[in-house]
Amino acid sequence: MKRILSIFKRDFKSSVREFLLLYIIIAPILLAVGLRFFIPSVNSISLQFALDSKLDQRVVEEFSRYGRVEIIDGIEAIKSRVNKVDDIVGVMQKEDGKYQLIMEGNEKGNYSFIPQQIISNITTDSQSVNKPSIAFSSIGINMPPIAIYGSSSIILMAIIFSGMVIGLNIIEEKEAKTIEALNVTPMQRLEFIAGKCLTAFTLPVFQAFIIIWILKLNNLNYSMLLIMTIASSFIAIIFGFLIGILSSNQIAGIANFKFLLLFVSASFVGAVALPASMQKFLYWSPLYWSTIGLINIVKNTASWLDIWTYSISILGLTFIIFIMFKGKIKKGLSA
Amino acid sequence: MIKVKNLYHSYSKDQNYAVKDVSFDISKGELFGFLGPSGAGKSTTQKILIGLLNLQKGHIQIDGKDIKQRSRDIFNHIGVSFERPNVYKKLTGIENLQFHSEMFSVTTEDPMTLLKLVGLEDAAHKKAGSYSKGMLQRLVFARSMINKPKIWFLDEPTSGLDPTTASIIKGIIKQKQQQGTTIFMTTHNMHIAEEICDRVAFITNGVISAIDSPRNLKLQYGERFVTIEYKKTDSLLSESLSIVDEAGKKRINEIISNYTVETMHTQEATLEDIFIKVTGKELK
């Protein structure tokens, strides 16, 4: 274990000291920050209300029927919440019993109309003939597509880029012949591989959680995301080792990585854009299952059965790829 | 400590051997020099001994164990100094040694002590990428001592070093040998081999031509000469004469008796002369 951790630490240290590798590590985070500007609030497609904690429970329940509710103490705290970047309407009750809406003024559409109607519903006598008859229906989209596909593609990118980190580190070992120096120590080949793989497991998990934090995707299932990221990391590991072993230098490594990105993009675009009847043509690609899994996790529509099915598909297909290239990898690491 | 018997190796896996029927034994605590020009088969032999090349044909025992059956634990007691400076350029000198020390499961040397030993203490915290060729060579040499090896493989340890540093490295090698380390050193530097090796083997075209101590090789193959400068009438003449054969001896007596001798120097054959005489090749 000591050797595995040492190899992992060395790779990490070496990576952050090289501009290209450092860029590869932080690129998904930068992209997530960029995407955040396009989706000021991933939750803004659904209504959000900041309700004063003094409001009656009946009022809270009524607002909960139409959107996400945050209970906040006092007018100042409500104002502070409303002033944040996303669209949220503050609701409180004045001393004379009248309701007061607190808004920034730049909210999209008729953001003020709906809370007014809800308040009207609450305050109007249920027997009154003047009771407004408002009904809300959902078309099933809880999140903007840019948030769904943007976030899942960035997480997938973080996973694949971690493979590139492995690949470039192996190229460095090959170019400097440091593998030879390690091969005359008691280090087992499996320890070398495990040390390199640790990067591909920890880096994307760490990045995936930072990405969802940046994008404020607070409602998804973290355990599912963890499982899907780790399962998908196996693809990155195989790709990383192949890039490292097949490339004689960094330039060749980058060229091979570009070729690999075509494969990643095709799997992602196919999973997103192809009609359901055509999707079966992508079943051979482990990245297809990663894409589907990540999208469903972000949309919050994945079940545990789905996650295990996707994960087993990824691992099975990755294992087949590993068997195909096992000899090359083994030979490459002996050099 | 090291036994090699009928070793063959072919990179093309045919009859075109890079190493052909090589056999030698190295005792515990011996400093054994493997001498030959580039491409002679020195590095191939060493790579097979340290496991970087597979043993195709022949038998090798290291520390009493057949290398085909050895576990990787044996590397806890083996040190290898490569000719090529294969270090992590983005790590500092001390980080390189620290990382390498973590690969062993035996007590290791203090990295800074080793860096001081090879004169790299001032560059310990600089990235190895900024080191000169000589500094890199010293770093690789220091790294090979990190696990306090019982068996030490040195590939051209003084290559690219200035005379002062080379002398320091020679001193360290000699000191380690005195402490009981068995040393296998490949080199094409005959002066170093002559100076520090207990025994040497001459290898050319993958074949060993001679194995013995430098002194015995010189006694066996070398001729001792005397160079005499003497005055004959008004001119200064010089002759190199063998002090081994009778004709040479007779001529020396003749000069001493009849002329005024200005200078007289004995001259021994060098190991390089012996190498050329035995193998018919020059060391390049």
- In angstroms, the CA B81 to CA B155 distance is 6
Q: Which of B284, B283, B275, B276 lies closest to B212, judged by CA?
A: B275
**Chain B CB within 8 Å of residue A194 CB:** no
Q: A177 and B82: CB-CB below 8 Å?
A: yes
- Asked whether the predicted pLDDT for residue A129 surpasses 70, the reply is no
| Neighboring chain B residues of A183 at a CB cutoff of 8 Å | 51-52
A65-80 per-position pLDDT tens digit: 788 888 988 888 888 8
Of B78, B84, B95, the CB nearest to A184: B78
| Neighboring chain B residues of A181 at a CB cutoff of 8 Å | 80, 82, 86-87, 100, 143
| Neighboring chain A residues of B100 at a CB cutoff of 8 Å | 181, 185
| Neighboring chain B residues of A14 at a CB cutoff of 8 Å | 88, 90-91
| Neighboring chain B residues of A172 at a CB cutoff of 8 Å | 88, 90
pLDDT at A67: 81
Distance from CA of A178 to the nearest CA of B (A): 5
- In angstroms, the CA B218 to CA B241 distance is 17
Nearest-by-CA chain B residue for A335? B52
Nearest-by-CA chain B residue for A16? B90
Most confident of A145-159, A211-225, B7-21, B136-150: B136-150
- Asked whether the predicted pLDDT for residue A43 surpasses 60, the reply is no
**Tokens 């999209």 -> residue:** A108
Q: A18 and B84: CB-CB below 8 Å?
A: no
- Nearest-5° Cα angle at A235, A160 to A332: 100
Determine contact, residues B190/B222, Cβ cutoff 8 Å: no
**Chain B CB within 8 Å of residue A175 CB:** no
The first and second tokens of residue A82, run together, are 């409303």
**Chain A stretch 17-76, residues whose beta carbon is closer than 8 A to a beta carbon of chain B:** 17-18
- Asked whether the predicted pLDDT for residue A10 surpasses 70, the reply is yes
User: Which residues of chain B have a Cβ shorter than 8 Å from any chain A Cβ?
Assistant: 50-52, 72-76, 78, 80, 82, 84, 86-91, 95, 99-100, 102-105, 127, 143, 147
Nearest-by-CA chain B residue for A170? B88
pLDDT at B184: 93
Q: B105 and A185: CB-CB below 8 Å?
A: no
Which of A168, A177, A184, A189 is the best residue to mutate to test the B interface, defined by the most B CB atoms within 10 Å of its own CB?
A: A184
The first and second tokens of residue B277, run together, are 């005489």
**Chain B CB within 8 Å of residue A183 CB:** yes
Q: What are phi and psi of B168, to 5 degrees?
A: -65, -45
Of A2, A181, A188, the CB nearest to B86: A181
Of A3, A178, A188, the CB nearest to B102: A3
Range of weakest confidence among A41-45, A85-89, A201-205: A41-45
**Tokens 């593609």 -> residue:** A153
Which of B67, B102, B154 is the best residue to mutate to test the A interface, defined by the most A CB atoms within 10 Å of its own CB?
A: B102
Contacts of residue B182, Cβ cutoff 8 Å, sequence gap at least 6: B1, B2, B26, B27, B28, B29, B30, B32, B150, B151, B152
Q: How far is CA A101 from the centre of its chain?
A: 34
DSSP B29-74: T-EEEEE--TTSSHHHHHHHHTTSS---EEEEEETTEETTS--GGG
Instruction: List beta partners, residue A93.
Output: A99
| Neighboring chain A residues of B72 at a CB cutoff of 8 Å | 186-188
Q: Which of B162, B209, B267 lies closest to B40, judged by CA?
A: B209
Of residues B266 and A159, more confidently modeled: A159
pLDDT at B150: 92
The ipTM of this complex is: 0.80
pLDDT at B17: 84
For residue B275, give the H/E element and its range: helix B271-279
- Where are chain A's structural domains? 2-39+144-334, 47-123
Distance from CA of B166 to the nearest CA of A (A): 22
- Asked whether the predicted pLDDT for residue A138 surpasses 50, the reply is no
Q: How far is CA A247 from the centre of its chain?
A: 30
Q: What CATH superfamily is the domain B2-214?
A: P-loop containing nucleotide triphosphate hydrolases (3.40.50.300)
Q: A186 and B82: CB-CB below 8 Å?
A: no
pLDDT at B88: 92
Q: What is the mean pLDDT of each run of 10 residues along chain B (284 residues)?
A: 87 84 89 86 89 87 82 88 90 93 90 91 90 89 93 87 85 90 88 86 87 82 81 85 83 89 81 77 65
- Nearest-5° Cα angle at B154, B151 to B160: 160
- In angstroms, the CA B210 to CA A13 distance is 49
Of B50, B84, B95, the CB nearest to A177: B84
**Chain B CB within 8 Å of residue A190 CB:** no
Most confident of A194-198, A199-203, B31-35, B39-43: B31-35
| Neighboring chain B residues of A17 at a CB cutoff of 8 Å | 90, 127
Q: B82 and A172: CB-CB below 8 Å?
A: no
- In angstroms, the CA A104 to CA A269 distance is 38
Which of A20, A174, A185 is the best residue to mutate to test the B interface, defined by the most B CB atoms within 10 Å of its own CB?
A: A185
A247-297 per-position pLDDT tens digit: 888 888 888 888 888 888 888 888 888 787 787 888 888 888 999 898 888
Q: How many CB pairs lie under 8 A apart between chains A and B?
A: 64
The first and second tokens of residue B89, run together, are 């350029």
The pLDDT confidence band at residue A130, using thresholds 50, 70 and 90, is low
